[in-house]
Structure 1
Amino acid sequence: MSKNLVPEAKEGLARFKMETAAELGVQFTEYNGNLTAKQCGSVGGEMVKKMVQQYEQNI
């Protein structure tokens, strides 16, 4: 993962990533080199989608 702008958020973002991966049926572990780019991308895309939805609900 790239450097976080708010270091205190690192743990929460990791938990969010794992929860999203579980919802999509993607098995994330310490080593994810066996996953396809499509699988990893789907997790990141879904995370962004959820963050945008949360932002829109708060404005």
Structure 2
Amino acid sequence: MSRTIVPEAKHGLDTFKTEVAHELGVQFSDYNGNLSSRQCGSVGGEMVKRMVEEYEQHLK
């Protein structure tokens, strides 16, 4: 089950996901059942990579 821990962040995360998907050439929509696991995983992986990089920058 996927849930947003901070509900106020949902819109921002959705926007971030859409931006990353667009950059990777993955067409996200309201229904994503036609996407492969690899496509969805590449978007999620890139999102996590960028969030970790951002966090590391704030630690400096």
Gaps of 5+ in 1: none
- State whether structure 2 residue 15 is matched by structure 1 residue 15: yes
| Number of positions where the alignment pairs a residue of Structure 1 with one of Structure 2 | 59
Match of 1:37 in 2: 37
Match of 1:47 in 2: 47
Q: CA RMSD in A?
A: 1.1
TM-fit CA distance, 1:3: 1.4
Moved over 3 A (4+): none
TM-fit CA distance, 1:5: 1.0
Of all paired residues, the percent bearing the same amino acid is: 68
d(CA) in 2 for partners of 1:46, 1:16: 10
d(CA) in 2 for partners of 1:44, 1:3: 14
Question: TM-score if structure 1 supplies the norm length?
Answer: 0.96
TM-fit CA distance, 1:2: 1.5
Describe the superposition over 1:13-50 as per-residue Cα deviations: whole angstroms up to 9, x where unpaired.
00000000000000001111110000000000000000
